[in-house]
Structure formats: structure tokens, C-alpha cells
Amino acid sequence: MKIECNTCGGQISTPDDSIVGELVGCKDCGVEYEIVSVNGNQIQLQAAESIKEDWGE
């Protein structure tokens, strides 16, 4: 299934067996999304959180 990227409008390919929590990325702009719901052929994405190193600060 293909979903439109919210950032650049490119096409994001999602596997047919997508599951909640899976990460997918836009090949055009590199933004990563997390699959937040799967309901038949409807898949909802949200921007994945980027976890940064704290380094004890």
C-alpha cells in the first residue's frame, strides 16, 4: 500500500502485513513515520519520535 508523505507529498510504501509500531520512511525526504493504526486497507501514520543521546546531561 502507498501513503502520501505529510512532509513532501512523496509516496511511502507500507508492507501488506503492516503492524502497529512498525517504522516506515519516505524515500524522497527521509522522514520516518510510525504506524499507529491498521484497519483493513486504512493505515494511519504519525511522525516517529527521534530519540537523542542524553550523555548524562
Count of domains in the chain?
A: 1
The answer to whether residue 54 is domain-embedded is no
The answer to whether residue 29 is domain-embedded is yes
Phi, psi dihedrals of residue 50, rounded to the nearest 5°? -95, 120
Structural domain for 37, as ranges: 2-47
The answer to whether residue 52 is domain-embedded is no
The answer to whether residue 32 is domain-embedded is yes
Contact between residue 6 and residue 12 where contact means Cβ atoms under 8 Å apart: no
Classify residue 51 by its DSSP letter. Answer: P
The answer to whether residue 55 is domain-embedded is no
What pTM did the predictor assign?
Answer: 0.76
Q: pLDDT digit string (tens) for 1-57?
A: 889 998 999 999 998 899 999 999 999 999 999 999 999 888 999 998 766 566 665
Give the pLDDT of residue 16. 87
- The H or E element that residue 25 is part of is strand 23-25
Give the 3-state secondary structure of residue 7. coil
Cα Rg of the chain (Å, integer): 13
